[in-house]
């Protein structure tokens, strides 16, 4: 039975190390005294924890800083540049692979050739090859994060549906990649990965109730509620793209009717642009992303038909915000991915719907804004999946002893 007592002790140690790392990660250089205060640890415990972490190189001492009572003391910092992760973003037609440091700074990003339903096996092979090369080149990579379109059945390892590209359903990501490399692989649904990226890398990081509203080829959502991801039994919760906004509306591949995704995803917008034929001439031969970006460009340049369409899309985005507020009551909703490039006009239209349709007390306390992360937020999300895991379980990645 001594063994189980040690196990409990090990869990407490790991929790404390994780707390120290996360605090330094989010707060920059701190003295040991500041850390001990902030985390309610004794100075002796903090000294022990920091010694172990210093040994691994993941934190390091800086010159003297001004600490409590204006006394100078040694600072500790998180050496985020010392270790790297690989992020792999699987979208319907796009696979991107990047290497990042632990602060999400991109060191390299590679786009694989555009994927169609027929070339999915090639894309899977491409991921094996490219990741293999990157791992061989960079000994500092400690983990791989993957972001895949939802609904993703985490316990099974594959997506339950990828609207308009069913071929991805045949790929079991856990079986395909789980044990394929010298470092561990963690897979998450893309919007859930996106909210981890927001919480790690963005200014919104201090919101403990945060929603990331992914408006890409699909529409997805990741929600952090009181610091924890909302998961659901199979990791398939928060599938806002398949929540109906009209039970008599447009049918969806998932079986439901009136799914939000059928109105304001890049795929739906592209479809509407092709049908329209005039706002974006030649839309039929463009990628989903390209067609949307052309629409937004026309709108920004003053084309009234384009502006009216962006506002109509913004209303549908707003209907989604209303549902998100009533369903999850977050502090912050961050709009990201392709459709968020509709910018202020789209955001204003969404906000008007929220102003009309949400209870004032809830509306007043919910901030809605566009993502302030760079373009490749979902591939950053893939990296975030790995980094989040590292910060939660440092002993799985560092030689920290018991």
Which residues 6+ apart lie within 8 Å of 215 measured at CB?
264, 265, 266, 317, 335, 336, 337, 338, 339, 340
> How far, CA to CA in Å, does 167 sit from each of 88, 92, 270?
18, 9, 21
The candidate with the shortest Cα–Cα distance to 335, out of 238, 186, 198, is 198
Query: Quick one: residue 309, left, alpha or beta (phi over 0 = left, psi -120 to 50 = alpha)?
Result: alpha
Residue carrying the six token digits 């792999």: 88
Q: How far apart are CA 178 and CA 385, in angstroms?
A: 14
Candidate ranges 115-123, 179-187, 226-234, 372-380; the one touching its own copies (CB under 8 A): 226-234
Contact with its own copies (CB under 8 A) among 42, 69, 70, 399: 42
Q: Quick check: 233 binds its own copies (CB under 8 A)? A: yes
Q: Considering only residues 24, 30, 41, 95, which one is a binding residue for its own copies as defined by CB under 8 A?
A: 41
Q: Which is nearer to its own copies, 119 or 244 (CB)?
A: 244
Q: How far is the CB of 69 from its own copies (least distance, A)?
A: 15
| Residue 189 contacts its own copies per CB under 8 A | no
Give strand pairing partners of 225.
Answer: 228
Residue 7 binding its own copies, by CB under 8 A: yes
Per CB under 8 A, does 330 bind its own copies?
A: yes
Q: Are 39 and 23 in contact (CB under 8 A)?
A: yes
206 forms part of the interface with its own copies (CB under 8 A): no
Check if the beta carbon of residue 197 is closer than 8 Å to that of residue 374. no
Q: Using CB under 8 A, pick the residue from 54, 293, 327, 400 that binds its own copies.
A: 327
> Using the rule CB under 8 A, which residue among 19, 105, 119, 209 binds its own copies?
209
Rounded distance between C-alpha atoms, residue 77 and residue 21, angstroms: 9
Contact flag: residue 358 with its own copies (CB under 8 A): yes
The nearer residue to its own copies, 106 or 249, going by C-beta atoms, is: 249
Which of the residues 128 through 187 are near its own copies (CB under 8 A)?
151, 153, 156, 160-161
| From 212, 213, 296, 319, residue interacting with its own copies (rule: CB under 8 A) | 319
- If phi > 0 it is left, if psi is from -120 to 50 it is alpha, else beta; for residue 343 that is left
Contact flag: residue 257 with its own copies (CB under 8 A): yes
Single out the residue of 57, 113, 232, 281 in contact with its own copies (rule: CB under 8 A). 232
Number of residues that bind its own copies (CB under 8 A): 63
Burial status of residue 113 (CB atoms within 10 A of its CB: 0-12, 13-18, 19 or more): exposed
Shortest gap between Cβ of 134 and its own copies (angstroms)? 33
Q: With CB under 8 A as the contact rule, which of the stretches 23-31, 175-183, 191-199, 242-250 interacts with its own copies?
A: 242-250
From the list 180-188, 212-220, 321-329, 376-384, the region that binds its own copies by CB under 8 A is 321-329
Backbone angles phi, psi at 99, to 5 degrees: -110, 135
Minimum CB–partner distance for residue 335 and its own copies (Å): 18
CB within 8 Å of 53: residues ≥ 6 apart: 17, 20, 21, 59, 394, 398, 400
CB 296 within 8 A of CB 343: yes
Q: Which stretch of DSSP H or E encloses residue 199? A: helix 190-201
Shortest distance, CB of residue 395 to its own copies, whole angstroms? Answer: 18
Nearer to its own copies, 83 or 317 (CB): 317
Residue 321: strand, helix, or coil: helix
- Answer for which of 80, 238, 299, 307 binds its own copies (CB under 8 A) is 238
Give the binding site for its own copies (CB under 8 A): 1-2, 4-5, 7-8, 12, 36, 40-43, 45, 151, 153, 156, 160-161, 208-209, 225-226, 228, 230-240, 242-248, 254-258, 319, 322-323, 326-331, 356-359, 361-362, 365-366
């Amino acid at each position: 039975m001594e063994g189980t007592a040690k196990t409990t002790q090990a869990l407490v140690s790991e929790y404390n190390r994780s707390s120290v790392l996360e605090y330094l990660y989010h707060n920059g250089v701190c003295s040991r005294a500041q850390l001990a205060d902030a985390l309610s640890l004794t100075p002796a415990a903090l000294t022990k924890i920091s010694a172990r972490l210093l040994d691994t190189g993941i934190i390091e001492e800086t010159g003297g800083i001004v600490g409590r009572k204006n006394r100078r003391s040694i600072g500790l910092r998180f050496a985020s540049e010392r270790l790297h992760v690989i992020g792999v973003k699987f979208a319907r037609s796009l696979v991107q692979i990047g290497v990042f440091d632990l602060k999400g700074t991109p060191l390299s990003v590679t786009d694989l050739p555009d994927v169609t339903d027929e070339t999915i096996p090639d894309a899977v092979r491409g991921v094996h090859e490219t990741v293999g090369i990157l791992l061989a080149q960079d000994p500092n990579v400690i983990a791989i994060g993957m972001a895949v379109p939802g609904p993703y059945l985490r316990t099974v390892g594959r997506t339950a549906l990828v609207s308009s590209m069913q071929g991805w359903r045949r790929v079991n990501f856990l079986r395909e990649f789980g044990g394929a490399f010298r470092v561990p692989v963690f897979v998450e649904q893309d919007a859930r990965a996106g909210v981890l990226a927001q919480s790690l890398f963005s200014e919104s990081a201090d919101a403990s109730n945060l929603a990331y509203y992914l408006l890409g080829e699909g529409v997805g959502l990741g929600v952090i509620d009181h610091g924890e991801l909302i998961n659901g039994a199979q990791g398939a919760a928060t599938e806002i793209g398949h929540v109906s906004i009209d039970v008599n509306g447009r049918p969806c591949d998932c079986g439901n009717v009136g799914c939000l995704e059928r109105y304001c995803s890049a795929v739906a917008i592209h479809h509407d642009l092709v049908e329209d034929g005039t706002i974006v001439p030649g839309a039929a031969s463009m990628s989903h992303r390209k067609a949307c970006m052309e629409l937004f460009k026309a709108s920004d340049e003053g084309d009234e038909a384009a502006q009216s369409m962006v506002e109509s899309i913004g209303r549908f985005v707003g209907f989604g915000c209303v549902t998100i507020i009533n369903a999850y009551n977050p502090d912050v909703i961050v709009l990201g991915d392709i459709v968020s490039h509709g910018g202020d006009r789209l955001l204003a239209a969404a906000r008007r719907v929220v102003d009309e349709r949400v209870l004032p007390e809830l509306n007043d306390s919910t901030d809605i804004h566009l993502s302030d992360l760079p373009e490749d937020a979902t591939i950053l999300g893939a990296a975030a999946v790995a980094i989040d895991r590292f910060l939660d379980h440092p002993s799985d990645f560092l030689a920290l002893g018991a």
